[in-house]
Amino acid sequence: MPIWNKQKECMPRADLKRFQLSGLQHLLQYIYKKVPFYKKLMSRNGSKPEAVEKLADLQHLPFTRKDDLRQNYPFNMLAVPADKLNRIHASSGTTGKPTIVGYTATDLNNWRELTARIAAAAGVTGSDTAQVAFGYGLFTGGLGMHAGLEALGAAVIPASGGNSVRQLTLMQDLQTTALVCTPSYALHLIDLIKENNLDPAADLKLKYGLFGAEPWTDQMRRYIETELNISATDNYGLSEVIGPGVCGECYVKKGMHINEDNFIVEIIDPATGKPLPSGRQGEVVITTLAKQALPLLRYRTGDISALDETTCSCGRTTARLQKILYRCDDMLIIKGVNIYPSQIEEILLSMPGLLPHYLIEASRREHTDRLTITVELKPKKSSALNNSSLAALKKQLSAQILSITGIKAELKIADTGTLQRSAGKARHIIDHRNLNQI
Ligand code: ADP
Ligand code: ZN
């Protein structure tokens, strides 16, 4: 499969590291001079821009947090005057007030290059017809992927999110070969395809699914691949850092190749802030090397994953970020035990008969934390299961959840279509304990 930019994606690692070091040195000079926030932050930390002589020196530099962007809302973290901006986006606001992000014309050109690499790694070529069902607008997913796919030469359908019946019509009439959206929305479209008695292998021309913007498991991947008869790849990004285009999977599907000529990715221990060795799980921290408008030093993403620096058989030399295990904000602490959605998703999808639609709820009754999980049955099973087989399924599921998490959960098995569907990022968690406190 073609590699979009062999020179950058297949650089010998020693050259790449040298390239990153000079990028980092340039970044430090740039932000020290152009962003008062960074001048203050670095001075407080006692770090001088010229003091970085090797990549490892990065670990002594201060972090940037989402709160810094919120406190400097909207434009105080920019390294260029606001009138030099060419585009403005915002984060989705999943965890609070959305952050505003700006791009210069050069940033937009670069962003297009990076999303083109991601799309090419997923298998898309100029002959494909790509339906972008991410929301267009302030969310970076839609316009971000759109530009890269267009650069590849694909015929891009800017369908945007929602209006699922029309999505399906477009997919059929325009013979869409690549679907670009959140994995949750792909599930929603699968529901609709089933409701309409369509057979993806015969009635659709889909070959690729490029999914991102939220965590999803390999079990979910297999489900979507089977149901849509496609190859599904994961790609990760976040608005503050650029949007989609940070990293994406190749056909090997063993981690997302990072555009390391543009980003330095570190994995740190979220509690101590200390860097962790390759392969260990921790918080993803990203430093941008080429952004003009909103350069970021050691941005703490709050996402948990691990790095793989082994060679990939696709030919790219870039390190791979493993699937995001969870975002810190999505972790529930139940009776002192950490629970996160992908743990539950893996268990649910290992059981035949269940759908990947689920909701995890935490509550507190009589000073005791409780965990309730609602999951949907596959359509045929809903009617076929009698009370005793339903009880047996619940028992089996309970035992699995207890053995993996150590927590006894209350299970609710619901009929297909009971839980709310999402055109964007799904909400898998409700913590009633926090809601009660408000
Ligand atoms: P928000 O942080 O408000 O959701 P964004 O739209 O910028 O705003 O989303 C970025 C976040 O989405 C990331 O920090 C991460 O938590 C999540 N995300 C994006 N892509 C993926 C992915 N492929 N896998 C898991 N999580 C992802
Ligand atoms: Zn690869």
- 251/297 same-domain check: yes
Q: Tell me how far the alpha carbon of residue 79 lies from the centroid of ligand 2, in angstroms.
A: 34
Of the pLDDT bands very low, low, confident and very high (cuts 50, 70, 90), residue 379 is: confident
In percent, how much of the chain has pLDDT > 70?
A: 98
Q: Tell me how far the alpha carbon of residue 64 lies from the centroid of ligand 2, in angstroms.
A: 30
Residue 199: which residues within 8 A CB-CB, separation 6 or more?
A: none
Q: What is the mean pLDDT of the chain?
A: 95
- 303/264 same-domain check: yes
Q: What is the pLDDT of residues 244-265, one digit of tens each?
A: 999 999 999 999 999 999 999 9
Question: 96 versus 307: which is more confidently predicted?
Answer: 307
343 lines ligand 1 (CB under 6 A): no
**Which ligand 1 atom lies nearest to the CA of residue 329?**
16
Which of 233, 256, 324, 328 is the best mutation target for the ligand 1 pocket, counting ligand atoms within 8 Å of the beta carbon and taking the most?
A: 324
Q: Tell me how far the alpha carbon of residue 213 lies from the centroid of ligand 1, in angstroms.
A: 4
pLDDT at 438 over 80: no
- 322/379 same-domain check: no
For residue 277, what pLDDT is reported?
Answer: 95
At 110, the amino acid letter reads N
Which CATH number does the domain housing residue 182 bear? 3.40.50.12780
286 lines ligand 1 (CB under 6 A): no
Closest protein CA for atom 24 of ligand 1: 215
- 285/347 same-domain check: no
pLDDT at 382 over 90: no
Closest protein CA for atom 25 of ligand 1: 215
> Which 3 state secondary structure label does DSSP give 418?
coil
Q: Which ligand is nearest to the CA of 247?
A: 1
Q: Is 119 exposed, middle or buried (0-12, 13-18, 19+ CB in 10 A)?
A: buried
Alpha helices, H only, 87-132: 105-121
pLDDT at 5 over 70: yes
**Which ligand 1 atom lies nearest to the CA of residue 211?**
23
**Average pLDDT value for residue range 408-417:** 94
Which CATH number does the domain housing residue 413 bear? 3.30.300.30
324 lines ligand 1 (CB under 6 A): yes
Q: Tell me how far the alpha carbon of residue 3 lies from the centroid of ligand 2, in angstroms.
A: 10
96 lines ligand 1 (CB under 6 A): no
- 315/379 same-domain check: no
* pTM exceeds 0.95, yes or no: yes
Of 328, 347, 379, the position where a domain reaches its end is 328
Q: What is the pLDDT of residues 160-169, one digit of tens each?
A: 999 999 999 9
Q: Tell me how far the alpha carbon of residue 312 lies from the centroid of ligand 2, in angstroms.
A: 5
- 308/380 same-domain check: no
At 299, the amino acid letter reads Y
Tokens 């929301």 sit on residue: 135
- 405/257 same-domain check: no
- C-alpha closest to that of 91 among 301, 258, 252, 260: 301
- 379/256 same-domain check: no
Domain holding 213, by residue range, is 1-328
Q: How many domains does the chain fold into?
A: 2
215 lines ligand 1 (CB under 6 A): yes
**Average pLDDT value for residue range 145-154:** 98
- 351/418 same-domain check: yes
Q: What is the pLDDT of residues 14-43, one digit of tens each?
A: 999 999 999 999 999 999 999 999 999 999
Q: Which ligand is nearest to the CA of 302?
A: 1
Q: Tell me how far the alpha carbon of residue 102 lies from the centroid of ligand 1, in angstroms.
A: 18
For residue 389, what pLDDT is reported?
Answer: 85
Contact yes or no for 362/369 (Cβ under 8 A): yes
- 225/132 same-domain check: yes
263 forms beta bridges with 288
Which of 180, 303, 345, 429 is the best mutation target for the ligand 1 pocket, counting ligand atoms within 8 Å of the beta carbon and taking the most?
A: 303
Contact yes or no for 360/344 (Cβ under 8 A): yes
For residue 381, what pLDDT is reported?
Answer: 62
Contact yes or no for 88/100 (Cβ under 8 A): yes
Asked, as a colleague might, if the bond just before 74 is cis with ω within 30 of 0, I would say yes
**Average pLDDT value for residue range 109-125:** 98
Q: Which ligand is nearest to the CA of 257?
A: 2
- 314/341 same-domain check: no
Structure tokens at 168: 């399906």
Of 313, 328, 343, the position where a domain reaches its end is 328
Of 299, 328, 357, the position where a domain reaches its end is 328
Of the pLDDT bands very low, low, confident and very high (cuts 50, 70, 90), residue 170 is: very high
- 279/178 same-domain check: yes
Q: What is the pLDDT of residues 229-238, one digit of tens each?
A: 999 999 999 9
